[in-house]
Amino acid sequence: MVRLLRELQKRLRTAGLPEGEALDLLALASGLSRKELLLHLPQAPPPGTEEKALTLLERRLGGYPLQYLLGEVEFFGLPLKVAEGVLIPRPETEGLVELALSLPLPHAPRILDVGTGTGAVALALKKHLPEAQVWATDTDPKALALARENARRLGLEVAFLQAPLTGGLKDLDLLVSNPPYLPEAYRAQAPRELAFESPQALYAGREGLDVARPLAQEARQALKPGGFLLLELAPENVGLLARELEARGWIDVEVLRDLAGRDRYLRARRPA
């Protein structure tokens, strides 16, 4: 299988894609885990492996996301199923979870994840805050079905609601969200991979704030006095929304950076 692996690596490298993906493609084609594959590399590939691997490679070279090919992604230590048309959890959103876990929340906080997608944020928070009551909303039935399946597989209790924004929930200690935040103009230059995800989960009008703005308005009623609003946004618009919230009387408004040093997260508290 070494020859096949090298061929996959070369073609990925030529296309400007990470050659490390070759191991994932070959493991998937051979029906082996990555660890098993490394042990079996000196051997001949199982029957049909080369054909399957090259078919997977062509799909990847065509822009199809690796995560969808694999059907699973790890998020904050949790294995989550993913499916075409539902937003793929990304490393930046792990930073959103880390910030949420660092907040001075009560022992059994009431938490809402808005626009849950695969359920990534809600499930990660429930895993690390087992006493919390966690709700998650989304308007996409396909995303909610996937989120519920992930919750069942992980044995985590989260209440998933098909509803826009806050779904009318009240008395929350934390409202957290990775809403659609890309400006519409970015669609023309977006990587090919994004075409396979839900545009409704990615793009949000001219400034990228067509969802975050009304969400912040609803959050004012949904949160307890002193409750936290925590959003992941784009470096181009997070500062703009932060200034708007300050002008509307939110307190402790702060823009925080991601691991790449980009302005990414907005943290604010509802005034008393």
Q: pLDDT per residue over 25-78, tens digit each? A: 999 999 988 888 888 888 888 889 999 999 999 999 999 999 999 999 999 999
189-215: b or e for each residue (b if 16 or more CB lie within 10 Å)?
Answer: eeeeebeebbeebbbbeebbbbbbbeb
Cβ pair 32, 72 in contact under 8 A: no
Q: Is residue 25 part of a domain?
A: yes
Residues 42, 148 share a domain: no
Residues 53 and 115 in one domain: no
pLDDT of residue 44: 84
| DSSP 8-state code for residue 226 | E
For residues 201 and 121, membership in a common domain is answered with yes
- Give the rounded percent of residues in the chain with a pLDDT score beyond 70: 100
Instruction: State which amino acid sits at residue 70.
Output: L
If asked whether residues 144 and 165 sit together in one domain, one would say yes
H or E segment and range at residue 161: strand 159-162
Provide the pLDDT for residue 38. 85
> 3-class DSSP state for residue 201?
helix
Helix, strand or coil for residue 163? Answer: coil
Query: Do residues 26 and 139 both lie within one domain?
Result: no
Give yes or no: residues 58 and 165 share one domain: no
One domain for residues 204 and 250 = yes
- The parent domain of residue 23 ranges over 2-62
Task: State residue 42's pLDDT score.
Answer: 86
In three-state secondary structure terms, 137 is strand
Q: Is residue 175 part of a domain?
A: yes
| Residue 58 sits in the same domain as residue 83 | no
- Indicate whether 67 belongs to any domain: no
Identify the band that residue 216 occupies on the pLDDT scale cut at 50, 70 and 90.
very high
Q: What is the pLDDT of residue 34?
A: 84
- The pLDDT value recorded for residue 250 is 98
Residue 46: what pLDDT? 85
Task: Provide the number of structural domains found in the chain.
Answer: 2
